[in-house]
Amino acid sequence: MKTARIQELEKLILHHKELYYTGHAEISDEKYDKLESELKSLDPENPVLQLVGFKQAESTAKVEHQRKMLSLDKTYDETDLAKWIGKHEVVSVFKIDGSSCSLIYENGHLVTAKTRGDGQFGENITKKAVFIPDIPKHVGNKGRFEVRGEVYCIEKNFFTLSKEMQDMGLEAPTSQRNIVAGLLGRKENIQLCRHLSFQAFDIIDDEVFSKEHQKLDSLKGLGFITPDYEIHKSGKDLKERIAEAKTFMSSGDYLIDGLVVVYDDLKLHAELGETSHHPRYKIAFKFAGETKVAKINEIEWGVSRNGTLTPVALIEPTELSGAMIGRVTLHNFGMVQNFQLKAGDKIEIIRSGEVIPKFLGVVERSNGEYTHPTNCPSCASKLVIQDIWLQCENDICPAKIKEEILNYIFKANIEDVSDKRLDEMINKGIVAGIPDLYRLKHDDFLLLDKVKDKLATKMFDNIQKTKHQSLAQFISAIGVEGVSIAKSEKIIAQGYNTLEKIQDLTVDKMLQIEGFAEKSSESILASLRKKRPLIDELLSVGVVVKADETSSGEGPLKGLSFCLTGALSQPRPQIEKLIKQNGGIIAGVSKNLSYLVTNDEDSTSSKYVKATSLKVPIIKEDQLMKMLEG
Residue 392: name its binding partner from ligand NAD, Zn ion, none (Cβ under 5 to 8 Å by kind): Zn ion
426 sits near Zn ion (criterion: CB under 5 A): no
Q: What single-letter amino acid sits at 452?
A: K
Residue number with CB closer to ligand NAD (53 or 221) = 53
Residue number with CB closer to ligand NAD (95 or 213) = 95
Residue number with CB closer to ligand NAD (94 or 105) = 94
Smallest separation, CB 160 to ligand NAD (Å): 23
Q: For 623, what's the count of Cα atoms within 13 Å in the CB-facing half-sphere?
A: 11
Question: By the 8 A CB rule, do 217 and 191 touch?
Answer: no
Residue 260: name its binding partner from Zn ion, ligand NAD, none (Cβ under 5 to 8 Å by kind): ligand NAD
Q: What single-letter amino acid sits at 495?
A: G
- Catalytic residue among 95, 402, 490, 509, which? 95
| Residues 369-388 interacting with Zn ion (rule: CB under 5 A) | 376, 378-379
Question: By the 8 A CB rule, do 264 and 230 touch?
Answer: no
> CA–CA separation, 313 vs 341, rounded Å?
9
397 sits near Zn ion (criterion: CB under 5 A): yes
Residue number with CB closer to ligand NAD (164 or 265) = 265
Question: By the 8 A CB rule, do 611 and 589 touch?
Answer: yes
Q: How many CB atoms lie within 10 A of CB 247?
A: 12
Residue number with CB closer to ligand NAD (71 or 338) = 71
Residue 397: name its binding partner from ligand NAD, Zn ion, none (Cβ under 5 to 8 Å by kind): Zn ion
- Give the orientation angle of helix 398-411 with respect to helix 419-427, to 10 degrees: 130
Smallest separation, CB 227 to ligand NAD (Å): 6
Q: Which of 587, 585, 522, 507 is nearest to 551 (CA)?
A: 585
| Residue 509 designated active-site | no
Q: How many CB atoms lie within 10 A of CB 420?
A: 10
* SS3 at position 454: helix
Torsion of CA 601, 602, 606, 611, to 10 degrees: 50
Which H/E stretch holds residue 544? strand 544-546
Identify the sign of the CA torsion 74, 80, 83, 88.
positive
Residue 379: name its binding partner from ligand NAD, Zn ion, none (Cβ under 5 to 8 Å by kind): Zn ion
Smallest separation, CB 382 to Zn ion (Å): 10
Residue 71: name its binding partner from Zn ion, ligand NAD, none (Cβ under 5 to 8 Å by kind): ligand NAD
Smallest separation, CB 204 to ligand NAD (Å): 13
User: 153 among the known binding-site residues?
Assistant: no
Task: Please calculate the CA angle 277-280-281 and round it to the nearest 5 degrees.
Answer: 135
161: left (phi over 0), alpha (psi -120 to 50) or beta: alpha
**Which residue ranges make up the site for ligand NAD (CB under 6 A)?**
16-17, 19-20, 25, 27-29, 32-33, 52-53, 71-72, 74, 93, 95-96, 100, 116, 150, 201, 260, 284
Instruction: Point out which residues bind Zn ion (CB under 5 A).
Output: 376, 378-379, 392, 394, 397
Query: Residues at the annotated binding site for Zn(2+)?
Result: 376, 379, 392, 397
Query: Residues at the annotated binding site?
Result: 29-33, 71-72, 116, 150, 286, 376, 379, 392, 397
Could you give the residue numbers annotated as active site? 95
